[in-house]
Amino acid sequence: MIVATAGHVDHGKTSLIKSITGVDTDRLEEEKRRGLSINLGFAFKQNRDKTITGFIDVPGHKRFINTMIAGVSAIDVALLVVAADDGPMPQTYEHLEILHFLGVREYIGVITKIDRVKLDRVDYVASQMKDIMKTTCPVFPVCNQNSSGISELEEYLSVLS
């Protein structure tokens, strides 16, 4: 199974992949210096049943939208990542439109940075995500800093594979 991230710049897509796989998908010195994904990043995780889930981390900045399109053109599942403190932002909507256009049918919502807000804000962002995705899909609140919620997301991903 191939899973790709989607979402606005600085919403924690790369950190999410690192939390799940242990791999920092930002490899370029410029990416590390700027704290901004420029190229596609790749990681994988072996599941308990010995299957492998591959991950593609895409840039969220609007200047790299072509790179994002290349990364999601042949995926099985999209992780729509939204930061709890910001909520859905312009690239959230753009990435979602691209995913719909490319025929991606399986979505998982992920709310990151939940440690920065109160619980009612997380609930509000979750309802926004369900509205904009126009599909019934699970939404997982996570904190990449302390791994809160990561195991639940990993379990769900392992069931899909």
Active-site residue flag, 112: no
> For residue range 125-147, what is the model confidence (pLDDT) as tens digits?
999 999 998 878 999 999 999 99
Catalytic residue among 5, 8, 11, 13: 13
pLDDT of the residue at 17: 96
Active-site residue flag, 10: yes
Residue 124 has pLDDT above 80, yes or no: yes
Active-site residue flag, 14: yes
CA-based nearest residue to 59, from 29, 37, 77: 37
Residue 154 amino acid letter: E
> For residue range 46-83, what is the model confidence (pLDDT) as tens digits?
988 889 999 998 876 665 566 667 667 778 999 999 99
Distance of alpha carbon 37 from alpha carbon 55, whole angstroms: 14
Using CA atoms of 25, 65, 141, 103 in order, give the dihedral in degrees to the nearest 10: -110
Catalytic residue among 5, 10, 25, 95: 10
Whole-prediction pTM value?
0.91
Give helix then strand counts, H and E, for the chain: 6, 6
